[in-house]
């Protein structure tokens, strides 16, 4: 990290530090400068990220990179910078107010252990907006929004970070003579490091509470909040861990095969197929295999699925459109084929069944009760077929019956896109479905409407 030695990392280009006389922020900022001088980094490799609040006025007084973002969100920009360029030293300055509004980011950066440094300037209230109470205002504390004294309990920011898993946490006050050393140690940590610095807000908290250095130190003791180093534990730093995990992940997901046309079809117009069944019947994946089979015959396809958010229960409906043309409108208003495989499925599409045209064919499990319909109904005794392949058997029966395209296309879709054992299961179900339609045909029940 060492660079040509600099006497200071601060500049007066934009004037002196803007804080009120006696404000603790001035002490913290000067301590940060001393810490940087001690560490001697290249200023181009340091980013000072600031939150909103009086403390957020500080970044532009440094000669390093400066990033001043939204209220409560400074940790997120710091993490984005660090994730993008792990070599950067990213130092975040935020107030106690920012820790309240952006509390989730504090928890999560500590938990993830992203290697940024977080300096919290805790002056027990919102300085910038006029001395309102914050999450760290002491119980009984007078602020502009606690006219009768604060009734809320102050939050232990360091304790919270420790509980969230922070690797390195230290509580200090702006009166600690070794503050620059503490900050330098924090900045030198490989993982997430947090220093909470208790301070005086001389414009608001001090006059409202007749509050001074002694009170600040006494307060800390009365809360039972520990002072000094709170935790120092080795944990894998996130950006490093992320890089390693991704190196392992490389090559794990080769792109799936493309689908060339190798069969012909007899689909001359946009054709809608609705497959309605239950969770566990592999409706969606079977529909996808069927769509890919259609693509092996040169057709275009679309698929939409309808299922409850609780995916392992209830209905599962897939809608397929096959067409030799580009498919524009992707809803099926009047399906050509409806495949009904369970009572849940029938219930879900009941309204549609009632409106089906006479030109539509329903392929229904023989055990199902169906509502009145104009459509032609073909009954399939599917009870002998395994539940996970009923959709495949029914689609194979439909293919045999309609000759939309050859079985080989569907076999190929299973062979190419599914594991060998699943493909075998489905090929077996295709044979079962074909036998069923032959049987039903011989019995003469595929003719008119039922």
Ligand X SMILES: Cc1ncc(C[n+]2csc(CCOP(=O)(O)OP(=O)(O)O)c2C)c(N)n1
CB 200 within 8 A of CB 174: yes
Q: How far apart are CA 215 and CA 175, in angstroms?
A: 12
Q: How far is CA 341 from CA 388, 390, 412, in A?
A: 11, 7, 24
By a kind-dependent CB cut-off of 5 to 8 A, residue 129 interacts, out of ligand SF4, Mg ion, ligand X, none, with: ligand X
Q: How far is the CB of 298 from another protein (least distance, A)?
A: 9
**Alpha-carbon span 108 to 114, nearest angstrom:** 9
Helix (H/G/I), strand (E/B), else coil: 23: coil
Let me know the angle formed at the C-alpha of 249 by 248 and 254, rounded to the nearest 5 degrees: 130
The minimum distance between CB 356 and another protein, in angstroms, equals: 17
Q: How many CA atoms lie within 13 A of 360 on its CB side?
A: 24
Binds ligand X (CB under 6 A): choice among 126, 198, 225, 238: 126
Among 59, 96, 344, 365, contact with ligand X (rule: CB under 6 A)? 96
Cβ-Cβ contacts under 8 Å for 39 (sequence gap 6 or more): 1, 2, 184, 187, 188
CB atoms within 10 A of CB 311: 10
Nearer to another protein among residue 47 and residue 124 (C-beta): 47
Q: Find the part of the chain contacting another protein (CB under 8 A) among 165-173, 250-258, 364-372, 396-404.
A: 250-258
Minimum CB distance to ligand SF4 smaller for 54 or for 377: 54
Toward another protein, which CB reaches closer, 11 or 178? 11
Residue 47 near another protein by CB under 8 A: yes
Report CA 174 to chain centroid distance, whole Å: 38
83 contributes a contact to another protein by CB under 8 A: yes
CB-nearest residue to Mg ion: 95
Is 97 a binding residue for ligand X by CB under 6 A? The answer is yes
Q: Is 127 in the site for ligand X (CB under 6 A)?
A: yes
Burial bucket for residue 161 (CB in 10 Å: 0-12, 13-18, 19+) = buried
Shorter beta-carbon distance to ligand SF4: residue 23 or 436: 23
- Residues 200-239, mask of contacts with another protein (x by CB under 8 A): ----------------------------------------
Question: Which does residue 242 bind out of another protein, ligand SF4, Mg ion, none, counting CB within 5 to 8 angstroms by kind?
Answer: another protein
Q: Binding marks (x or -) toward another protein, 57..76, rule CB under 8 A?
A: ---x--xxxxxxxx--x-xx
Count, residues near Mg ion per rule CB under 5 A:
5
Tally helices (H) and strands (E) across the chain. Answer: 14, 15
Instruction: Answer left, alpha or beta for residue 280, where phi above 0 means left and psi between -120 and 50 means alpha.
Output: left
Residue number with CB closer to ligand SF4 (57 or 114): 57
Selected from 56, 127, 154, 272, the binder of ligand SF4 by CB under 6 A is 127
Q: Is 54 among the residues that bind ligand SF4 (CB under 6 A)?
A: yes
Q: Does residue number 301 form part of the binding site for another protein (CB under 8 A)?
A: yes
Quick one: how far is CA 53 from the chain centroid? 29
Tell me the C-alpha distance between 147 and 143, whole Å.
Answer: 7
- Residue 128 as a binder of ligand X (CB under 6 A): the answer is yes
254-293 residues in contact with another protein (CB under 8 A) are 255-256, 258-260, 288, 291-292
Site for ligand SF4 in 4-23 (CB under 6 A): 19-20, 23
**Angle 119-120-125 (CA atoms, 0-180°, nearest 5)?**
160
CB 157 within 8 A of CB 196: yes
DSSP H or E run through 144? none
Partner touching 96 among another protein, ligand SF4, Mg ion, none, CB below 5 to 8 Å by kind = Mg ion
Q: Per rule CB under 6 A, is residue 180 in the interface with ligand X?
A: no
Q: Is the CB of 211 or the CB of 307 nearer to another protein?
A: 307
Give min distance, CB of 188 to another protein, in A: 19
Which helix H or strand E contains 150, and what residues bound it?
Answer: none
Compute the chain's Rg from CA coordinates: 34
Strand 300-306 versus strand 315-323 pairing type: antiparallel
- Give residues 21-50 in contact with ligand SF4 (rule: CB under 6 A): 23, 25
Residue 43 is encoded by which pair of tokens?
Answer: 């200023």
Instruction: Examine residue 96 and tell whether it contacts Mg ion (CB under 5 A).
Output: yes
Q: How far apart are CA 407 and CA 395, in angstroms?
A: 10
| Residues of span 177-216 touching ligand SF4 by CB under 6 A | 201-204
- Taking contact as CB under 5 A, which single stretch among the options 107-115, 124-132, 153-161, 379-387 is the one that binds Mg ion? 124-132
- If one asks whether residue 71 binds ligand X (CB under 6 A), the answer comes out as yes
We find the least distance from the C-beta atom of residue 430 to another protein, in angstroms, to be 19
DSSP string, 354-407: HT--TT-EEEEETT------SSEEEEE--TTS-GGGHHHHHHHHHHHHH-SS-H
Dihedral sign for Cα atoms in the order 20, 22, 28, 31: positive
Of 10, 32, 58, 88, the residue at the interface with another protein (CB under 8 A) is 88
Residue ranges that bind ligand X, judged by CB under 6 A? 52-55, 71, 95-98, 121, 123, 126-129, 134
Residue ranges that bind ligand SF4, judged by CB under 6 A? 19-20, 23, 25, 54, 123, 127-128, 201-204
């Amino acid at each position: 990290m060492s660079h040509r030695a600099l006497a200071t990392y601060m500049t007066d280009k934009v004037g002196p530090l803007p804080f009120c006389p006696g404000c603790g922020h001035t002490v913290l900022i000067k301590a940060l400068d001393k810490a940087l001088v001690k560490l001697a980094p290249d200023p181009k490799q340091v980013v000072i990220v600031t939150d909103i609040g009086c403390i957020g006025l500080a970044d532009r007084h440094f000669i390093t990179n400066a990033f001043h973002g939204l209220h409560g969100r400074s940790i997120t920009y710091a993490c984005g910078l660090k994730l993008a360029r792990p070599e950067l030293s990213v130092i975040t300055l935020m107030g106690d107010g920012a820790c309240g509004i952006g509390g989730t980011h504090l928890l999560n950066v500590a938990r993830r252990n992203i290697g940024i440094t977080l300096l919290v300037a805790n002056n027990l209230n919102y300085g910038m907006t006029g001395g309102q109470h914050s999450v760290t205002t002491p119980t009984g504390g007078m602020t502009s929004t606690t006219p009768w004294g604060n009734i809320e309990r102050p939050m232990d920011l360091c304790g919270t970070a420790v509980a969230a898993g922070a690797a390195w946490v230290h509580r200090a006050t702006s009166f600690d003579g070794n503050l620059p050393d503490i900050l330098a140690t924090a900045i030198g940590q490989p993982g997430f490091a947090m220093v909470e610095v208790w301070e005086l807000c001389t414009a608001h908290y001090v006059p409202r509470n007749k509050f001074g250095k002694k009170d600040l130190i006494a307060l800390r003791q009365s809360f039972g909040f520990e002072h000094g180093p709170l935790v120092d534990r080795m944990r894998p730093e996130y950006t490093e861990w992320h890089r390693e995990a991704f190196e392992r992940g490389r090559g794990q997901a080769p792109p799936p095969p493309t689908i060339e046309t190798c069969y012909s079809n007899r689909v001359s117009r946009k054709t809608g197929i609705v497959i309605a069944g239950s969770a566990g019947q592999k409706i969606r994946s079977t529909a996808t295999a069927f769509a890919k089979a259609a693509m092996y015959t040169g057709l275009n396809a679309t698929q939409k699925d309808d299922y409850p958010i609780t995916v392992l229960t209830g209905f599962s409906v897939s809608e397929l459109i096959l067409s030799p043309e580009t498919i524009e409108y992707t809803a099926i208003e009047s399906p050509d084929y409806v495949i009904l495989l369970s009572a849940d499925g029938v219930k879900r599409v009941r309204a549609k069944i009632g409106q089906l045209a006479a030109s539509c064919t329903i392929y229904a499990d023989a055990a199902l009760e169906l509502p009145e319909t104009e459509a032609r109904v073909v009954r399939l005794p599917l009870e002998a077929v395994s539940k996970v392949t009923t959709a495949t058997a029914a689609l194979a029966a439909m293919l045999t019956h309609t000759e939309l395209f050859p079985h080989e296309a569907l076999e190929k879709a299973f062979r190419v896109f599914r594991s060998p054992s699943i493909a075998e299961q489905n090929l077996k179900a295709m044979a079962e479905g074909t036998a069923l339609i032959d049987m039903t045909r011989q019995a003469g029940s595929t003719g008119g409407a039922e």
